[in-house]
Amino acid sequence: MSTPTFTDMCREQLELCGIVPGSTVAVLSQGNQRRSYVESFLAAAAQLDAVAFNVNLPAGDMGNDGEVGVWTVGATPLKGNQPAIDALKSVDLVIDTIFLLFSKEQLEIQAAGAKVLLCIEPIEHIRAMPPSKRLRERVEAGQEMLAKARTLRFTNEAGTDVTYQLGAYPVMTQYGYTDTPGRWDHWPSGFLFTGASDDGVDGTVVLAPGDIIFPFKSYVQTPIELTIEKGFITNIAGDLDADLLREYMASFNDPDAYGISHIGWGMLETAQWSILAHDRRGIGMHGRSFYGNVLFSTGPNGELGGPNETLCHIDMPMRNCTLYLDDEPIVVDGDIVVDVLKADDRVQV
Ligand SMILES: [Fe+2]
């Protein structure tokens, strides 16, 4: 069997997103960025007899190549461009190749009922982590469990023991496609998360060697001990890595930078923890998605509906953790232990 082309992969993706003859698809791009993504999606949509078009914004000087991870100027190139926003609101599915994040413009597009799929990662990463209905089932089984839970606690051998009081915020899922009107997803990905009530996180998190820090895109070499009280980091202790993290967080000059953000776990068996050792491209979907990681995060919770809007957002996928929902183990030493959540090749029969 020959390797599928990216257009083939886009067609499968559009099918997963519920695109059928007559569906409408807009591909959002900026300047010449990711031109081949745009062409492939448009060709795939044509193969499915969907009605598709490209909304191409001027290159401008605000381009985000996906390496930075935030709109440093706080506004997307869509801001103020109501005709473009209206065009995107009018379709069934928007493919975002410029990284709208959770901007006001994106929320307006979603509120109109359009599905939004982000697609900016290197094609090799997209190819390595295909989405599937089976992944969606497993992630949604996790969503049900996480939505019912009142507490989430996780530990590791390095000394982590922290508890989140849940229930204040919804559970968000990412399984790499979206066929639900108004829903956002990111191709590729495979994890889920929620947030604690704003003062509802207490304990200690100790990042161990091998845990990942985004946006540094690096592996922790020396343990970092974070003391957390009432939802905020109150102390950062350790050697070199603690110094790096402390100075980075302080550089935002913002007390909200120390807030605790989303918490959840990775479920994608094709994602590679070790990828950053040899391939640092993209915004890190291997690292955030890898199977059995606990994705610990600090900073804003606006994405969940919370009040923290700091620009300092740090995602820290951690290995070898044990995570409990209301005292029931879900992940043990970095391995998912609940049958309905396990990847098919890890279920023992
Ligand atoms: Fe995050």
What is the 5 CA–ligand 1 centroid distance (Å)? 30
**Which residues are registered as beta bridge partners of 153?**
163, 324
Domain that holds residue 38: 6-120
Q: How far is CA 123 from its chain centroid? A: 17
Do 146 and 217 belong to one domain? yes
What is the 175 CA–ligand 1 centroid distance (Å)? 15
Spatial contact of 6 and 36, defined as CB atoms under 8 Å apart? yes
What is the 299 CA–ligand 1 centroid distance (Å)? 8
Q: What whole-number distance in Å separates Cα of residue 220 and Cα of residue 211?
A: 5
The number of distinct structural domains making up the chain is 2
* Residues, beta carbon < 5 Å, ion ligand 1: 297, 315
What is the 261 CA–ligand 1 centroid distance (Å)? 8
Cα maximum dimension of the chain: 59
The number of C-alpha atoms within 13 Å of 324 and in the hemisphere containing its C-beta is: 13
What is the 157 CA–ligand 1 centroid distance (Å)? 24
Q: Which residue has the tokens 């009530």?
A: 197
Do 201 and 83 belong to one domain? no
Looking at 70, 102, 120, the residue that finishes a domain is: 120
Q: What is the pLDDT along the chain (349 residues), one digit of tens a residue?
A: 688 999 999 999 999 999 999 999 999 999 999 999 999 999 999 999 999 999 999 987 654 554 444 444 457 899 999 999 999 999 999 999 999 887 889 999 999 999 999 999 999 999 999 999 999 999 999 999 999 999 999 999 999 999 999 999 999 999 999 999 999 999 999 999 999 999 999 999 999 999 999 999 999 999 999 999 999 999 999 999 999 999 999 999 999 999 999 999 999 999 999 999 999 999 999 999 999 999 999 999 988 999 999 999 999 999 999 999 999 999 999 999 999 999 998 876 5
Q: What whole-number distance in Å separates Cα of residue 88 and Cα of residue 302?
A: 23
What is the 296 CA–ligand 1 centroid distance (Å)? 8
| pTM of the complete model | 0.94
**Which residues are registered as beta bridge partners of 164?**
152, 201
What is the 315 CA–ligand 1 centroid distance (Å)? 5
Do 26 and 54 belong to one domain? yes
What is the 121 CA–ligand 1 centroid distance (Å)? 16
Q: What is the pLDDT of residues 174-212, one digit of tens each?
A: 999 999 999 999 999 999 999 999 999 999 999 999 999
How many Å from the N-terminal Cα to the C-terminal Cα in the chain?
A: 30
Q: What whole-number distance in Å separates Cα of residue 256 and Cα of residue 244?
A: 18
Helices H / strands E in the chain, number of each = 8, 20
What is the 298 CA–ligand 1 centroid distance (Å)? 8
Do 54 and 158 belong to one domain? no
pLDDT of the residue at 349: 58
What is the 114 CA–ligand 1 centroid distance (Å)? 23
Domain annotation covers residue 1: no
Domain annotation covers residue 288: yes
Domain annotation covers residue 44: yes
What is the 313 CA–ligand 1 centroid distance (Å)? 7
What is the 316 CA–ligand 1 centroid distance (Å)? 8
Q: What is the pLDDT of residues 206-231, one digit of tens each?
A: 999 999 999 999 999 999 999 999 99
Residue 136 phi/psi, 5-degree rounding, is -60, -45
pLDDT of the residue at 74: 54
What is the 171 CA–ligand 1 centroid distance (Å)? 13
